[in-house]
Amino acid sequence: MSDAAMPKEQTLHDLYRDHRGWLEGWLRKRMGNRCDAADLSQDTFLRVLASSQRIAELQEPRAYLLTVGKRLLSNFYQRRSLEQAYLAALASMPEECAPSPEQRWLLLETLQALDELLDGLPRAVRRAFLWSQLEGLNYQQIAERLQVSERTIKRYMAQAYEHCLLVDL
Amino acid sequence: MNSQTSDARQAVRAAAQWLALLESGGANEQDRANLKRWRETCACHEQAWQKAQALRQRFADLPPALALSSLDRPDPSRRVVLKRALGAVALVPAAWLISRQLPLDVWRADLHTATGERKKVQLADRSSLQLNTASAVDVDVQARRVKLIAGELSLKVPGSSPLTIQTKFGNVIVSQSEVCVRQDARGCRVSVFNGAVQLQPLQGPALALRGGQQVSLKAAGAGAITPFDATAPGWREGVLMANNQPLGDFLRELGTYRPGVLRWEPELENLRVTGSFLLEDTDRVLALLAASLPLEVHARTRYWVTLLPRKNSV
């Protein structure tokens, strides 16, 4: 009872004091980089603060921190791999076609948001959707590329639309 | 509130279907009239439709070549970094990497884990399969079959096309549900986390099991259905939970995750353990036990550990 009455900031403070060093060490071992590890460990504690989990009731706080930290780490690597693909594509573009420096960063942010939106879709569904939206291919052309039936493409597209639209609900 | 969300979900699903039908080029006049009527039936339908249009616009505003090479980047780089990031938990067997490019229905694989190892694989139909320590399965997706040879698996099937888990003691039919099945020489235990599954025991009638229920299957048939806490973290999250559990039972369980010998003196058998422990470091679990219970850990080697009552307990 007294635990539940304790302000969340106080228990978070204890959690931070007791486990931040450990979590950062764990992240550093995986990321091989002190700054990124420190950032991500901060993010983890922020996530915990924002969640509905009662900190005082955590029996094994490190197990919980690790679960949250791993999820953030996976997002981090996903953003980074997108960034790399994006920069590589930019570099291979003729200078006169490339967006301006300001536009580049705005565009990267938009792409990251869309990448997250599409996350979790099976690879074939994702590709079908992107080809339709970005290349303007019709279902018959996509079906030929993926060597499946047009009916399957129709199902893929409905699945992709639904997946993206459900995210904000 | 809740029904509102479910209405919105349904509207979104319908909007997605309409859009796919229109884009497929297969829509006739009647379909268009029906769509018009659907949009006018309810404000939430029109809202979902507008949301879908806004989504298309977001993609239409992008420079196509640049967006395509970023969003449709080759998978291996993503997988490698993920694998490095998540360690052994997300290991993907090589056989699966190759077959990922192929249609799912030609996929067959034998998967197994060593003692202390856990493995998770994603099937291309969005189902996911997880293996606990010292487990083996034989997967044949064409036949929609997962055969549990030894140990424990968890299977989540989001779609409506069922996968059947075959065990020595009966079949478990899984669709739109999530289930854990653990098998040893004497029987197997089926626990449903989400949705509902159908069970076909070797003997006796088939039965249905819902989320939060578990049952034992033996050669003689199914036992009684009992409730369990489906929300508690478990091996799939890398956690071993104990709630006032006899130490002996806890150590027998912990021992399945440790290569080597783990022994303890009989007088420790009925001490009580409560807590949740990380499976990724079982040495640390033993150290935690020693810190909270009157016992000492004697390790001759990493693979030969004995627990003794603490001598100098006051």
Question: What are the per-10-residue average pLDDT scores of chain A (169 residues)?
Answer: 53 84 89 81 82 75 86 82 82 74 81 90 94 93 93 96 87
pLDDT computed for residue B88 by the predictor: 31
Element (H, E) at B249: helix B247-255
Structure-token pair, residue B36: 């018009």
Residues B137 and B41 in one domain: no
Neighbouring C-alpha atoms within 13 Å toward the C-beta of B125: 22
Contact B298, B308 (CB under 8 A): yes
* Spans of chain B below 70 pLDDT: 1-4, 75-109, 124, 312-314
CATH code: domain of residue B168: 2.60.120.1440
Residues B64 and B136 in one domain: no
Residues B55 and B113 in one domain: no
CB contact under 8 A, B60 and A130: no
Residues B208 and B168 in one domain: yes
Neighbouring C-alpha atoms within 13 Å toward the C-beta of A117: 23
Residues B266 and B190 in one domain: no
- Which of B227, B251, B268 terminates a domain? The answer is B227
Smallest CA–CA separation between A73 and chain B, in Å? 7
> How close are the terminal C-alpha atoms of chain A, in Å?
34
pLDDT computed for residue B108 by the predictor: 52
Contact A162, A144 (CB under 8 A): no
Smallest CA–CA separation between A79 and chain B, in Å? 10
B164: in domain: yes
pLDDT computed for residue B107 by the predictor: 45
B102: in domain: no
Smallest CA–CA separation between A34 and chain B, in Å? 15
pLDDT computed for residue B312 by the predictor: 64
Smallest CA–CA separation between A5 and chain B, in Å? 22
Element (H, E) at A34: helix A34-50
Smallest CA–CA separation between B275 and chain A, in Å? 6
- Residues in chain A with CB shorter than 8 Å from the CB of B17 are 158
Q: Helices then strands (H, E): number in chain A?
A: 8, 0
Residues B153 and B242 in one domain: no
Domain count, chain B: 3
B293: in domain: yes
- Residues in chain A with CB shorter than 8 Å from the CB of B235 are none
Contact B77, A144 (CB under 8 A): no
Residues B184 and B216 in one domain: yes
Residues B201 and B284 in one domain: no
Q: Which of A59, A85, A164 lies nearest to residue B276, judging by beta carbons?
A: A59
Residues B27 and B65 in one domain: yes
CB contact under 8 A, A73 and B51: no
Mean pLDDT of chain B: 83
Residues B265 and B298 in one domain: yes
Domains of chain A: 2-95 (1.10.1740)
B94: in domain: no
The pTM for the full model equals: 0.47
Range of the domain at B20: 2-70
Residues B215 and B118 in one domain: yes
**In chain A, positions 72-91, which contact chain B (CB-CB < 8 Å)?**
73-74, 76-78, 80-82, 84-86, 88-90
Structure-token pair, residue A106: 């705005």
CB contact under 8 A, A133 and B56: yes
Residue of A nearest to B159 (CA): A159
- Residues in chain B with CB shorter than 8 Å from the CB of A77 are 78, 81-82, 84-85
Tokens 């030609």 belong to: B106
The contacts of residue A115 (CB under 8 Å, 6+ apart) are A78, A79, A82, B70, B71
Smallest CA–CA separation between B261 and chain A, in Å? 25
Tokens 């996530």 belong to: A47
DSSP letter, residue A134:
I
Name the pairing type of β-strands B145-157 and B163-167: parallel
**In chain B, positions 246-275, which contact chain A (CB-CB < 8 Å)?**
274-275
**In chain A, positions 119-158, which contact chain B (CB-CB < 8 Å)?**
122-124, 126-127, 130-135, 138-139, 148, 150, 153-155, 157-158
CB contact under 8 A, A80 and B81: yes
pLDDT computed for residue B109 by the predictor: 60
CB contact under 8 A, B85 and A30: yes
CB contact under 8 A, B23 and A133: no
Residues B239 and B303 in one domain: yes
B136: in domain: yes
Tokens 């921190």 belong to: A65
